Amino acid sequence: MTAYGKPLTPRESGIDGLTIWDLPVHGDNRGWFKENWQREKMTAAGLPDFGPVQNNVSFNDAVGTTRGIHAEPWDKWVSVATGRIFGAWVDLREGPGFGRVFTAELDPSVAIFVPRGVGNSYQTLEPDTAYTYLVNDHWSPAASYSFVNLGDPALAIAWPIPLDEVEISEKDRAHPVLAEAVPVPPRRTLVVGADGQLGRALRTALAGRVEVEFASRADLDLAAPDLASARRWRDYATIINAAAYTAVDTAETPEGRRGAWAANVTGVAALASVARENGITLVHVSSDYVFDGAADRPYTEDDPVSPLGVYGQTKAAGDAIVGTVPRHYIVRTSWVIGEGRNFVRTMAALSERGVSPTVVSDQIGRLTFTEDIARAILHLLDTGAPFGVYNVTGGGEPTSWADVARAVFAAVGGDPARVTDVSTEEYFAAATGPVAARPRNSVLNLSRLEATGFDVPDAAMSLRQYLAASA
């Protein structure tokens, strides 16, 4: 007998992510009505916004029809349109929950959300039972599936009708016992631009995580017309986009402008489309160059963008595109230092050679080391921080590039007094090619990142550690 008038209420099952839901059913002498899937109400109540793409119905004539136990690489929203079932669910995902069992009866007033990798099975308790389920992916022969035997004693499922008295397919009877079942691996993480300086830092930070893949441009071309089918994207949970065109001065040339827009906008748009269509979390790295640097305070994540040059324009456009992906993190940073040739190493080399450089003193910001950007990205992902834009730089007092140069000279045993201040205009006065306008103020407000519990490193201390490690 279907219960009427229950409020929409979730209940935990003991299996991570598997939740059983009471559904409001309204009935009278004509029959009943229910909202079997109502995205706005159900996601507000805590159901994952899992993006269903297909609705399936399995009609069962007889009492005792038994099906399962099948685990697929997609999420399900399972309910009953008519009749009643006894359901059994088994966690077949890799991890400490593997083999955990939950059972419950479902009638039209009860539904259950079954996350990817949890085995699903049922036995009908009434004739003419219509079992329905929404899924967020289409069946594919290339997908990875797992199965376990309905009658495995290790599961100890108390089927209402003994399995030797009911209708079961030979295929389901032949499924392996739990000890021989193949665990469902977690969804993967893909790092794009893995050979760049941030990509190399992410390789180090993610070393040992078997679910992580790294791709250079040779491995994955974001401009390829077949990007949407280049991989089975539903197997991925996260894409970290560490690829970008960063030659800010070259971007002011005709060829550089085309390259910057292709990498920072067109490629990002293709990646965002993949993420949007497949429920993937997209992490994208932005830049202080989206601002004009005219503010007299640190920039917040919500300040309007006003880029001065082509590079900044393409980064701002890429940010706007990524912002349309439901699950996204835009990590906005500045003055990035990592492996390879960079300002800090150049200054250290000049000090050791006895060169006295002139360095710009009217651009203000904080150094940001790639290992700290990588650590911040993983922090946002691992803690499930709210999606959106986060400023990620080193902390402490802002400095000029000339101040940084003096700190480098001092750290490597040189004389900081050999560094001479110069204005941006004076520094570039003798340039023979295009020069991009630089923001004078690149200081970013870090309070939103700190509110997530991230320990922002002091930029000056990070500089000393970087130089010590490079010595």
Specify the amino acid at residue 312: G
| Domain match, 212 and 342 both | yes
Report the C-alpha gap between 409 and 412 in whole angstroms: 5
H or E element at residue 381: helix 370-383
What letter represents residue 337's amino acid? Answer: I
Do 248 and 328 lie in a common domain?
yes
* pLDDT of 301: 98
Q: What is the mean pLDDT of residues 200-205?
A: 96
Please say if 133 is a catalytic residue.
yes
In this structure, are 222 and 281 located in the same domain?
A: yes
Half-sphere exposure of 459 (CA within 13 A, CB side): 27
Instruction: Check: CB of residue 370 under 8 Å from CB of residue 197.
Output: yes
Share of the chain above pLDDT 90, in %: 90
Say which CATH number the domain at 328 has: 3.40.50.720
pLDDT computed for residue 3 by the predictor: 77
Q: Directed axis angle between helix 343-353 and helix 401-411, to 10°?
A: 50
Q: What is the pTM of this model?
A: 0.89
Residue 169: its pLDDT value, please?
93
- Compute the distance between CA of residue 191 and CA of residue 202 in angstroms, rounded to an integer: 8
* Residues sharing a CB contact under 8 Å with residue 304, sequence separation 6 or more, in sequence order: none
> Which residue is catalytic, options 122, 131, 133, 236?
133
146 and 239 assigned to the same domain: no
User: What pLDDT does 29 receive?
Assistant: 84
Report the alpha-carbon angle 385-391-393, nearest 5.
Answer: 115
- φ, ψ dihedrals at 406, nearest 5°: -65, -40
Which of 161, 180, 199 is the C-terminal boundary of a domain?
Answer: 180
Total number of domains constituting the chain: 2
Decide if pLDDT at 2 tops 80: no
- Number of residues assigned to the chain: 471
Which two three-digit tokens encode residue 350?
């000049």
Report the amino acid identity of residue 97: G
Indicate whether 293 and 309 sit together in one domain: yes
Question: The domain spanning residue 61 has which CATH number?
Answer: 2.60.120.10
In the annotation, is 138 catalytic? no
Residue 177's CB: how many other CB atoms inside 10 A?
13
pLDDT confidence of residue 1:
61
Report CA 120 to chain centroid distance, whole Å: 27
pLDDT tens by residue, 415-424: 999 999 999 9
Task: Convert the pLDDT of each residue in 74-120 to its tens digit.
Answer: 999 999 999 999 999 999 999 999 999 999 999 999 999 999 999 99
Angle at 299 between CA 295 and CA 301, to 5 degrees: 145
Q: Which residue, 389, 446, 363, 373, is CA-closest to 196?
A: 373
In a domain, 4, yes or no: no
Range of the domain at 230: 188-470
Q: 355 with 449, same domain?
A: yes
DSSP string, 11-63: EE-SSTT-EEEE--EEEETTEEEE-S--HHHHHHTT-------EEEEEEE-ST
Cα gap 110→366, rounded to integer Å: 55
Same domain, 294 and 389: yes
Domain assignment present for residue 3? The answer is no
Flag whether pLDDT at 331 surpasses 70.
yes
CA angle 35, 41, 119 (to 5 degrees): 70
Q: Give dist(CA 295, CA 448) in Å, integer.
A: 19
pLDDT value of residue 296: 95
Give the integer Cα–Cα distance in Å for 198 and 280: 21
Peptide bond into 112 cis (omega under 30): no
CA distance 432 to 418: 26
Domain boundary among 152, 180, 208: 180
| 278 and 167 part of one domain | no
Tokens 């730089």 map to which residue? 393
Q: Please give the backbone phi and psi of residue 379, each rounded to the nearest 5 degrees, phi first.
A: -60, -45
